[in-house]
Amino acid sequence: MSNGCDASGRVPETAPPAGVSLRGSIGRRGSRRTLALILIVLLLAAGLLAVVADKRDQHSHRPAGSAMPNSDDVAAVMSVLNAHGKALLARDAAGWRSALDDRSGSFSAQQEAVFDNLAHVPLSAWRYTLDASVNSPDVLGPAAQRLGGRVAVLHVTLRYALAVVDLQPTGKDLWLTAVDRSGRWLLAGDSDAAAAGGVSWRGPWDFGPLVVRAGAHTLVLAHPAHAGDLARFGSLVEQSVPVVTRVWGSQWNSHVAVIIPDTDAEFAAVTADTGDTSDLAAVAVADQVLPDGTVLGARIVLNPTNLQRLDDAGRRLVVQHELTHIASRAMTNDQMPTWVIEGFADYVGNLGSALSVRQSAAELAAEVRRGLLPSMLPSNADFSGSAARLPQIYEQAWLACRLIARRVGQPGLVRFYKAVSQAARADPDKAAGTAFKAVLGIDETAFVRIWRQDLRAELA
């Protein structure tokens, strides 16, 4: 899967095509700022998909060993991968190692380390499915020369599931190289296609040993350096799950995987974020939503350094906000106004806060006291990560959703969110207006007028 970011900052459709990843991120201002990013992920670069080569190409001059693998070769490699996955689930170290080419250099050592790093991680699935064979001589030639033998490079999907927290396996893209050693195929690399766009996904187990803590609603994964954070941050998520459920309802998988990376590089890998993540406190990620609403690969990724800089209220807000994105993910689509998505998450995030509205919306309050009131609800463009007034925009969205909840209750706010989602599929520009009429019985113009009055009363 490749990394990309939609400029609107909106959460993507509820049913993205295979190979699409999404994420919503906590904002870059610490305890109250959120910046939901979508990561539309398509690593299938030109030339990596299976290509039907003509006879002339098959007989062209190529480096030794660079001939395209035939169907029997591909089937043989997939058989090796099938046994490889079963060995991991059975904790069969010898079986796992038997699939590795000991002449492949660092790859074999890395994969043996992966086996050890996963020792304490409860897995309910780990298997590989074939997407395509890579037939480009520009990929096969250098790989064959590196390994000194005939090779096959396959684009596969790793389908893995963490026990309890994953209702179904999620999928991650890998481009794996196998080499023929005297008629036996062995795994020998995962980066030979990288220059052509086939960058293999990296999981937390690729970055070192993992320690694990399971709770009623959580499975927390960290490296030994952060073993001391397992209980503290696990408890933070545990306490936040019931808050989100009380608002959204029980129609979401409230068993959540929590990942605590050691480094910025690992944080970027597991969140698929190529931007500067150094000031993020937490990120919600997921891989796909199935037609029945099942969310695959939902994770909360924490940055312990930044979380430790926040007070208890700030940490709670961060986690409640991100959990809200996960809970509402199946009902969220990329046509919805961003203010609804982010305002709703901030509404839930702020529940239980001891801060006053003026304190929580300090930047917007300062403007209102100067007589500056917004004339309309925030646009999608207002949520650009480079926007100078991003704090005020999030505060506007939060207070709009807070006002809706005050008028029709929390269940009414959830109905509004779902009504916007439904209406946005037909006409994104009129989605909020349709939901205002259906849930509040007023049009958008009337709501904006009431909202402006409420901002003046709450913040002036």
97 is written with which tokens?
């190692």
**302, 334, 366: which is the final residue of a domain?**
334
Please tell me the distance from the alpha carbon of residue 398 to that of residue 392, in angstroms, as a whole number.
10
Q: Where are the beta strands (DSSP E) in 317-359?
A: none
171 in any annotated domain: yes
208 in any annotated domain: no
Domain shared by 11 and 145, yes or no: no
DSSP 283: E
**316, 334, 352: which is the final residue of a domain?**
334
β-strand partners of 258: 220, 300
Q: Where are the beta strands (DSSP E) in 279-347?
A: 282-286, 288-289, 295-296, 299-302
Domain shared by 60 and 175, yes or no: yes
Domain shared by 89 and 183, yes or no: yes
**305, 334, 363: which is the final residue of a domain?**
334
209 in any annotated domain: no
Domain shared by 191 and 87, yes or no: yes
244 in any annotated domain: yes
**Consecutive H or E run containing 403:** helix 390-426
**pTM for this prediction:** 0.83
User: How would residue 388 be classed by pLDDT, with cut points 50, 70 and 90?
Assistant: confident
Domain shared by 37 and 169, yes or no: no
Domain shared by 64 and 117, yes or no: yes
Number of Cα atoms under 13 Å in the Cβ half of residue 392: 17
User: How would residue 64 be classed by pLDDT, with cut points 50, 70 and 90?
Assistant: low
Domain shared by 86 and 66, yes or no: yes
Cα separation of the two ends of the chain: 48
What's the whole-number mean pLDDT along residues 85-98? 98
Domain shared by 319 and 259, yes or no: yes
219 is written with which tokens?
């499975």
Give percent above pLDDT 90 in the chain: 76
Give percent above pLDDT 70 in the chain: 86
Domain shared by 260 and 380, yes or no: no
Whether residue 56 is predicted with pLDDT greater than 50 in this model: the reply is no
**Can you give the pLDDT at residue 320?**
96
Give the tens place of pLDDT for each residue, 195-236. 999 999 999 999 999 999 999 999 999 999 999 999 999 999
446 in any annotated domain: yes
β-strand partners of 259: 221, 301
Domain shared by 312 and 359, yes or no: no
**Residue 182 neighbours by CB distance under 10 Å:** 5
Give the tens place of pLDDT for each residue, 393-432. 999 999 999 999 999 999 999 999 999 999 999 999 999 9
Please tell me the distance from the alpha carbon of residue 62 to that of residue 64, in angstroms, as a whole number.
6
Total domain count, the chain: 3
Whether residue 51 is predicted with pLDDT greater than 80 in this model: the reply is no
DSSP 23: E
**Identity of the residue numbered 243:** V
Domain range for 161 is 55-198
Give the tens place of pLDDT for each residue, 254-284. 999 999 999 988 998 998 887 777 778 899 9
What's the whole-number mean pLDDT along residues 1-26? 28
